[in-house]
Amino acid sequence: MSQSSRQRERKWAVLATLGITLLAIYPQINLWLARGADWRGSYVLVQGDEIAYSAYINALIDGRPRRNDPFMGKDHVSSAPLAESLFSIQFIPAYAIVLPARLLRLSASTTFILLIVVCAILSSLAIFWLLNTVTNDARVAATGALVTLCLGTFAAGQGEARVMFLGQNVYDFFPYLRRYQPAVAFPLFFLFCTLLWRSLPRGNRRSEIRSATWTGLVFVLLVFSYFYLWTAALALMAALVLFWCVARPRDLRLLALPFAIITGIAAVAVVCFFILLFQRSASMDSTQLLSYSHAPDLLYAPELIGFAILGAFGLAGWRLKLDLRNPTVLFTASLALTPFLVFNQQILTGRSLQPIHYQVFIANYVALVGLVLAAVVLFHGRKESPGKIPSRVLVYVALAAFGWGVVELAGSTRRNAAYARIRDDSMLAITRLAEIAKQDGTYDRGRVTGSYPIVYSTNLMVAGNIPTGAPQAVLWALHTPAAGVAGLEQSKERYHFYMYYSGVDEKALSQSLLDGQFSTLTALFGVERVITTLTPDPKPITVNDMRVEVRRYSEFLNSFSRERAADPLLSYVVAPTEAEPNYANLDRWYERDSGERVGIFVIYRVTLRP
């Protein structure tokens, strides 16, 4: 390739990457502009589950072991061992973040701000490289990167399109940027795709073997990074082998060696993954919403895109306008079939694990890359000397994709602005808790006993944010079950304590349930029964279910005692100064000091009454 060609490629890659990066960082810039000099250092959430990931990262930055639960305040120690969780099994992204953060002495919050920029850049470049390698057209690659990353939410049937038509959605903004899952490993998936493409037979055996080896090694990284990415990669390989067997059976022996290398390396990683998985906590399956079903799923948006591509290829082949044996056609068809495979693997396995994660985190992006390649393939057809897609068309497509990206980020930023401010306001109190922990020996005691002091935060938004900046556990937060240590029953019991100390009685709980308050419903029934799209077998909450939970809470209140108040034992209370709750129940069992005001919050040290 000439120097001028390389420069043109770099120019297109930079343009696409710059556009994607500006969109990715805009919500954070918006917070900086809104807060000005009052900004306290918080990162803006792309999606609510990021709180759980940043809490785990903060624990690792503090030097806590791989197996830890930052919300429950538990570490794996010999006297109190912890089982494996998806956080501890999928450890590669976590340590890829933590090691530089430790080296540069960065907080978890600052690390997450930088991470969204790095992941946006790497994702854009990875997709650009894949499309440029397959099409040999940097203009198409740049346009395709914008289309894939800006329309990913739309292709998942989420975001602003869902808000416009249905008035609600589960995921918005750009799901691939959810830190750190799948953001860190997301570029690796498309790197895997590129290397897989380069492993296909082309007459250069040495190059194919080298590419196959690298493909297998990248797959290893995916296995210990994110379940939905490595299983999608496995589905892509299966689809490619299937199409190759049907279309080019005589060339199958040429494919055998590189795919044997990939499969051999991959098998070792998968075996190790399942060894760790068998050591998981008993509550992890329910926490991760594992369900059992053989029913097919054929109507997810990424599947429909894939079916459209395969239908277009079939029609073009039938009309002799497309060579269905062409490797580019087979690779594109494999991308199109991948969504169907990941959404329907349960037909064989009988197990389904939150298929919405395929829908929003990978299958949608795979379908869009397939759509871009399909457009190029159909445009070229069987022409011996195909021309290039007109630049004007590519510019219009790129602008349309970027414009929709602006729509997505504007809506998401507007909806989450108030929450972003509350989280930022809480940073002063959280920083103070971290300082207290350094002064009172919390870290040293935690390393010995594997447990940390508990904070009762009267504001649940603040409660979820505490483990991102401080080592203390929280009495209850929305993500208490996230690490897989606390199952639904243990989380529910902790929520009973939270309600009791907040002055909630049976009548208030009943009203909260009838009003559909998200935190209450989630705490008592599990997120899958509140957001029914998370599982293929939803079980809506009934009025009778609510009565049962109110009765259980009533029994909890009637049996409360000093022994119960001592486990879990509270050490701190954090509350907003202008909206403190009724402390009558708390003060019956605990003594509060005079409190320390920090910003708009007050921190009380509490001790159990004799």
Give yes or no: residues 238 and 116 share one domain: yes
What is the mean predicted confidence (pLDDT) over 75-94?
A: 91
Q: What is the pLDDT of residue 43?
A: 96
User: In this predicted structure, which of 177-186, 224-233, 516-525 has the lowest mean pLDDT?
Assistant: 516-525
DSSP secondary structure letters along 474-523: ES--TTTTTTSSS-HHHHHHHHHHHHHHTT--HHHHHHHHHTT-HHHHHH
Check if the beta carbon of residue 474 is closer than 8 Å to that of residue 457.
yes
Long-range Cβ pairs for the range 381-384 (8 Å, 24+): 381/316, 381/321, 381/322, 382/320, 382/321, 382/322, 382/323
- pLDDT, one tens digit per residue, over 105-151 is 999 999 999 999 999 999 999 999 999 999 999 999 999 999 999 99
Give yes or no: residues 354 and 490 share one domain: no
Q: What is the pLDDT of residue 403?
A: 96
Give yes or no: residues 471 and 399 share one domain: no
Give yes or no: residues 242 and 359 share one domain: yes
- pLDDT, one tens digit per residue, over 23-76 is 999 999 999 999 999 999 999 998 889 999 999 999 999 999 999 999 999 999
67 located within any domain: no
Break the chain down into helix, strand, coil percent, rounded to 5: 65, 5, 25
- Please give the model's pTM, rounded to 2 decimal places: 0.94
227 located within any domain: yes
423 located within any domain: no
Is a pLDDT exceeding 80 seen at residue 97? Answer: yes
| Distant-in-sequence, close-in-space partners of 294: CB < 8 Å, separation ≥ 6 | 346, 347, 350
78 located within any domain: no
CA 218 to chain CA centroid, nearest Å:
19
Number of domains present in the structure of the chain: 2
Top pLDDT among 368 and 446 is at 368
Top pLDDT among 579 and 220 is at 220
CA 589 to chain CA centroid, nearest Å:
40
Domain termination residue (choose one: 391, 415, 439): 415
Is a pLDDT exceeding 60 seen at residue 288? Answer: no
420 located within any domain: no
| Percentage above 70 pLDDT, the chain | 96
144: which 2 tokens? 């395709």
Domain termination residue (choose one: 393, 415, 437): 415
Q: What is the pLDDT of residue 1?
A: 59
5: which 2 tokens? 């060609």
**CB crowding 134-154: b at 16 or more within 10 Å, else e:** bbebbbbbbbbbbbbbbbbbb
Q: What is the pLDDT of residue 284?
A: 63
Check if the beta carbon of residue 217 is closer than 8 Å to that of residue 261.
no
- pLDDT, one tens digit per residue, over 447-470 is 878 889 999 999 999 999 999 999
Give yes or no: residues 203 and 313 share one domain: yes
CA distances for 154 relative to 61, 149, 374, 384, 454, angstroms = 35, 10, 19, 35, 41
**CB crowding 535-572: b at 16 or more within 10 Å, else e:** bbeeeebeeebbeebbeebeebbeebeeeebeebebbb
Give yes or no: residues 363 and 467 share one domain: no
User: In this predicted structure, which of 122-131, 219-228, 521-530 has the lowest mean pLDDT?
Assistant: 521-530
**Type of residue numbered 380:** H
Give the integer Cα–Cα distance in Å for 364 and 374: 15
Give yes or no: residues 410 and 457 share one domain: no
Torsion angle of alpha carbons 298, 266, 281, 62, nearest 10°?
-110
- pLDDT, one tens digit per residue, over 140-157 is 999 999 999 999 999 999
**Type of residue numbered 394:** L
Element (H, E) at 52: helix 50-61
Give the integer Cα–Cα distance in Å for 131 and 143: 10
Give yes or no: residues 300 and 170 share one domain: yes
322 located within any domain: yes
Give the integer Cα–Cα distance in Å for 452 and 289: 28
Is the backbone peptide bond immediately before 568 cis, with ω within 30 degrees of 0? yes
Q: What is the pLDDT of residue 289?
A: 58
210 located within any domain: yes
Which 8-state DSSP code applies to residue 353?
E
The range of the structural domain enclosing residue 125 comes to 3-39+83-415
- Output the CA angle 439-441-445, nearest 5 degrees: 165
**Type of residue numbered 491:** S
pLDDT tier, 563 (very low <50, low <70, confident <90, very high otherwise): very high
Give yes or no: residues 241 and 372 share one domain: yes
pLDDT tier, 204 (very low <50, low <70, confident <90, very high otherwise): confident
Give yes or no: residues 379 and 460 share one domain: no
Give yes or no: residues 270 and 351 share one domain: yes
379 located within any domain: yes
Give yes or no: residues 371 and 502 share one domain: no
**CB crowding 291-326: b at 16 or more within 10 Å, else e:** beeeeebeebbbbbbbbebbebbeebeeeeebebee
| Distant-in-sequence, close-in-space partners of 535: CB < 8 Å, separation ≥ 6 | 289, 291, 352, 354, 528
